Structure 1
Amino acid sequence: MSTDVDEAPSGMPGTEGAASGAPAPDRRMPRRRGQGRGRRKVLAGTGVLVLLAPAGVAAVVMDPFDDGDARPASSADGTSLAAVREGPLSTQVTQSGTLSYAASGDGTPYAVVNQAKGTYTRVPGAGKEIGCGRTLYRVDEKPVVLICGATPAYRALSVGDEGREVRYLNANLVRLGYAERSELNPRSDHYGAETAEAVAELQDALGVDETGRLNLGDAVFLPGPLRVTKAMAKAGTRAVPGAQVAQTTSARRQVIVELDPGQQSQVKVGDRVQITLPDNRTTPGRVSRIGRVAKADDAKKDAPSPTLPVYITLSRPKDAGKLDEAPVQVQITTEGVKKALTVPVTALMGKAGGGYVVEVAAGQARRLVPVTLGIFDNDNGLVQVSGALSVGDQVVVPAS
C-alpha cells in the first residue's frame, strides 16, 4: 500500500495499558484533605475558575497552595500509563471527496466548437480521450486536430502572424516532436519559417496537404488532453462554423473536497494528500488549487453551510483507472515536525488560569508538569508538547 503521508512511528501509543513494571498504587496511602476518589473530577466550592478544555482534554483545579512537588499516587482510579515518545509527527485534515476528471476553472465542461464547413463524418463518443496533436473529429473526412492551448482558434495562421495562439502552437509542435527545441522556440509567439515547416510535418502525419499553413477549421485550441463527456453533433449532419461538436473535460484526474471555510487556514497549495479509493487502495496526491468563493449546496440538507472547494491532483493518476464521480476519503497533511516530543491527547489536563499540565508517575508518586502544546495528530490521538518531560516518562491517561 502506497502512501505519501508521514506516519507516526510504529509503537507510538494512544491510550495503552499500564506500562510493564509500573508499581501498583498504595491503597493505604491517606487521601489529601478535600481530595475526591476520582483524580480528574473538578472540585467544587474552591472559588477558583476552571479553564474550559477542548474535547477529550480533562480539566483540573490547581490547589493555590500546592508547591508542585511530587505527591503520592492516588488509589485505583481507572487510569493507566503511557510513555512520552519522540519522533516525527504530522497533523491532518480528513475529509470525504469526489474523484473525477478535471473540468475548466469554473467547473463547467469545455465546449468543442467547430469552425470547418462540410459534413461531419466522424464525431467522438462519450468517454473518448484525445491527446494533443490528435484528431478530434472529421469534416468531409478531413481531420480536425486538437492543439492544447487556452486561446480559441479565431483566424487562419501562417508565416508572419503573432499571438498567444501561435505560442501554444509552437509549444505543441516541439512537445510532439515535429520540431527540435534548438530549431523552434516553444515560447515564441511568432509564426516563422520554422513553425511552417513543423506544421507541414504535422500535416504529413495527419495525411493532409502539407501547406505549412493552419486554416481556420483545421484545428481546435483547448486545454488538453481532453475526455469527451457528451457528443453534441452526429455523423452525417452539416458542420456549421460556430456549432458545438462536443462537451469535454480534461483527461487529468482530480479529487475535489468541499472544505469548511474555517479549515481554510490549515490547508495550503502543495500539501501532501493520501487518497483512499473505493476499493481501499491508497494513492498519493497534492493540493493543486483552493477555491476562493465559498458556496452552499442547497441539495444537501445535512450540509447547508457554505464550503470551499479544494482541488487535489493525483501523483499516480493511473491508480484511479476509469473511475468517475467516485467517492473517496482524503487525508491532507497540513503540518509536520521531524522530531517532536509527544503524549496522548487524553493525558492533557487544563489548569485554572489557563494552560495545560500532564500528570507524571514516578514510582509511587505523581506530579503535575506544565506543558506547552504544539501540533495535534488527531488521527492517532497525539499532541506535541514541551516542558519538563523526558522520553520514557510515564504520563497518566484514562484507562481504555
Structure 2
Amino acid sequence: MTAGVEAPGPRPDPGPVRRPRRRARAVAALALALAVAGGAGLVLGDPFDGASEGTADTPTSRADAAVAEVTRGTLSARNVQKGELGYRGDHKVVNNLGGVLTDLPSVGEVVRQGRVLYAVDDEPVVLLRGAVPVHRDLVLGAEGPDVRQLNAALVALGHAAEDDFAEDPDHFGWRTHRAVQDLQERVGVEETGRLERGRVVFVPEREIRVTALGGALGGTVSAGAVVVEGTSTRRQVTVALSASQQSEVAVGDGVTITLPDGRTTPGVVRSMGTVAERAGEGMAVQVLIEPTDPGATRLLDRAPVEVSIVSASVEDVLSVPVRALLARQGGGHAVELVRPDGEHRLVPVETGLFDAAAGRVQVTGRGLAAGQRVVVADA
C-alpha cells in the first residue's frame, strides 16, 4: 500500500477554557514533551513532508497493535504537592490566676465554649469565644471590645437574645449582668453577675481540641503561664508551595487529597500566604486547604498526604492517551487512527492541555471524532 498525505485543515475550536493560566500551560507543555519522549513512538522521517491532500495509510501489519478510544469531555491540569493533614489554628491559653491546678482537660479532649476548661484552687475557668484578651474585671458599667465579645458569647450560649444588645453591644448593662448570672449558674459557681479577671479565657473558636498541657494536676501555676494548647476542630491540609509555582494556584481551586491509606477525598484551597519563607533549599508560601468532607479524613493528625491541585481546565474537548502521540521530526505531533475496516492512517494533531492524573492530552485534528480508535505505544 502506498502512503498518501492529507494536509492539515483548519483547527476546530478546542472548546471553552475555564480560568486559564500561562504558567499552568507551560507546565503542561513541558510534562507533555517529557511524556511523549518517554512513552510514545517517534516518527523518524516526516510522513507528511511534501504530501498532497489526503491521509497517509500505514501497513495493516499493525492490526494487532494496542488501541484506545478518542473521547470528548473535561481535562484538568494538576499541580501535585506534598502536604500535612491536621487541624486549623494553633491556640495557647494563658492563665491569669495564681494557685494550684485542681482540674485539667485531657489531651485530645474537645472543650466547647461555655464549659469549664480548667480550674485553679477549685475555681473553674470558663472557655468563651473571642479574640480580645481579658485584661480587667468585667462588671456593670464596663465598655469596650472585650464587653462586645462577652455579649456575643452570651447570645451564642442562649443566655441572652441578640436584640438585648442591639443598641449598645459594647456596654455591660443589667442584661449582661443577668446573662452572666445564668452562665455562672450553669457552671456551678456563685452567681455574682460579674466576671473577675482570670475566671474566663477567650479563644477565637467555638470549641478547641486540646493538644498539650502546660502543667500537672496538683502543680502550682502562676499568672502568665500557658496552661492549655489546642487547635480548632476544623480539618485542614497545609502545603508549602514553592514560590515559583505561586501563580499556578489560586484560592477556590479544587483539589484531590490522597490519604496515607490511598483513599482520596476532595478539598478546596481556602487561603494562600503572601510572604515566602525559607523551605529547604528554596522559598515557599503556605497554602491552606479545607477538605470538603472532613469526616473522610477520620482522626488523622499531622499525617503526610498528597494534594493534587486543579490549576486549569478545558471542557468539551477531544482527548487521547499521551502514549498515542507520535512526534514528528519537523515538529508537531500525529496520531495513528484505526479505521473500522482495520486500515491505519496518520492524522496530524495540535495538542492542548495535558491531564497528568488521567494520562490524557487534548487534541484537535481534521477528521478526529469521539469514539474513533487510535494506536497507543506499549507502556
Q: TM-score range by the shorter chain?
A: 0.7 to 0.9
Alpha-carbon distance in structure 1 between the residues aligned to 2:324 and 2:170: 63
Residue 381 (structure 1) shift = 0.6
Q: Which one-letter code corresponds to 1:233 in the other structure?
A: G
Q: Secondary structure at the match of 2:34?
A: coil
Alpha-carbon distance in structure 1 between the residues aligned to 2:143 and 2:333: 66
The C-alpha deviation readout for 1:29-83, integer Å capped at 9, x for no partner, is 2579xxxxxxxxxxxxxxxxxx997112256547552335212214646954322
Checking the alignment, whether the CA contact within 8 Å between 2:182 and 2:191 is kept in structure 1 is: yes
The C-alpha deviation readout for 1:202-246, integer Å capped at 9, x for no partner, is 122111222332221111112222222222123334442222223
| Aligned residue pair count | 343
Residue 383 (structure 1) shift = 2.0
- Higher mean alpha-carbon deviation, 269-278 vs 142-151, is at 269-278
Alpha-carbon distance in structure 2 between the residues aligned to 1:96 and 1:187: 49
**Runs of 4 or more off by more than 6 Å in structure 1?**
none
Residue 359 (structure 1) shift = 4.0
Partner of 2:224: 242
Q: Secondary structure at the match of 1:138?
A: strand
Q: Which one-letter code corresponds to 1:378 in the other structure?
A: A
Alpha-carbon distance in structure 2 between the residues aligned to 1:179 and 1:220: 19
Alpha-carbon distance in structure 1 between the residues aligned to 2:235 and 2:259: 13
- Higher mean alpha-carbon deviation, 177-186 vs 111-120, is at 177-186
Residue 134 (structure 1) shift = 1.6
| Among 278, 281, 302, the residue aligned to 2:260 | 278
Residue 351 (structure 1) shift = 5.0
| Among 341, 344, 368, the residue aligned to 2:347 | 368
| Among 42, 59, 73, the residue aligned to 2:58 | 73
Q: Which one-letter code corresponds to 2:213 in the other structure?
A: A
Residue 138 (structure 1) shift = 0.6
RMSD: 3.2
Q: Which one-letter code corresponds to 2:350 in the other structure?
A: V
Partner of 1:377: 355
Alpha-carbon distance in structure 1 between the residues aligned to 2:316 and 2:241: 29
CA 1:95–1:142 in structure 2 vs 1: closer, same or farther (change >3 Å)? same
Checking the alignment, whether the CA contact within 8 Å between 2:351 and 2:361 is kept in structure 1 is: no
Q: Which one-letter code corresponds to 1:256 in the other structure?
A: T
**Does residue 1:220 correspond to 2:201, yes or no?**
yes
Tell me which protein shows more helix as a share of its residues: 2
Alpha-carbon distance in structure 1 between the residues aligned to 2:335 and 2:144: 66
Alpha-carbon distance in structure 1 between the residues aligned to 2:346 and 2:300: 55
Q: Which one-letter code corresponds to 2:372 in the other structure?
A: D
Checking the alignment, whether the CA contact within 8 Å between 2:88 and 2:233 is kept in structure 1 is: yes
Q: Secondary structure at the match of 2:185?
A: helix
Alpha-carbon distance in structure 2 between the residues aligned to 1:197 and 1:283: 47
Alpha-carbon distance in structure 2 between the residues aligned to 1:201 and 1:356: 76
Q: Secondary structure at the match of 2:33?
A: coil
Alpha-carbon distance in structure 2 between the residues aligned to 1:393 and 1:318: 42
Alpha-carbon distance in structure 2 between the residues aligned to 1:116 and 1:331: 48
The C-alpha deviation readout for 1:114-138, integer Å capped at 9, x for no partner, is 1124332113343232222221111
Partner of 1:85: 71
Alpha-carbon distance in structure 2 between the residues aligned to 1:133 and 1:97: 34
Q: Secondary structure at the match of 1:54?
A: helix
Partner of 1:4: none
Residue 393 (structure 1) shift = 2.8
CA 1:341–1:162 in structure 2 vs 1: closer, same or farther (change >3 Å)? farther
Alpha-carbon distance in structure 2 between the residues aligned to 1:185 and 1:335: 46
Partner of 1:128: 109
Alpha-carbon distance in structure 2 between the residues aligned to 1:121 and 1:236: 6
CA 1:294–1:354 in structure 2 vs 1: closer, same or farther (change >3 Å)? farther
CA 1:349–1:158 in structure 2 vs 1: closer, same or farther (change >3 Å)? farther
TM value normalised by structure 1? 0.73
TM value normalised by structure 2? 0.77
**Structure 2: tracts of 5 or more residues without a match:** 5-28
CA 1:186–1:174 in structure 2 vs 1: closer, same or farther (change >3 Å)? farther
Q: Secondary structure at the match of 1:265?
A: helix
**Does residue 1:164 correspond to 2:145, yes or no?**
yes
Q: Which one-letter code corresponds to 1:286 in the other structure?
A: V
CA 1:319–1:390 in structure 2 vs 1: closer, same or farther (change >3 Å)? closer
| Among 258, 270, 273, the residue aligned to 1:288 | 270
Q: Secondary structure at the match of 1:97?
A: strand
**Does residue 1:343 correspond to 2:325, yes or no?**
no
1:381-392 to structure 2, matched below 5 A, reads 381-388=359-366, 389-392=368-371
Checking the alignment, whether the CA contact within 8 Å between 2:214 and 2:225 is kept in structure 1 is: no
Residue 346 (structure 1) shift = 2.5
**Structure 1: tracts of 5 or more residues without a match:** 1-28, 33-50, 105-109, 299-303
**Does residue 1:94 correspond to 2:80, yes or no?**
yes
Residue 190 (structure 1) shift = 4.0
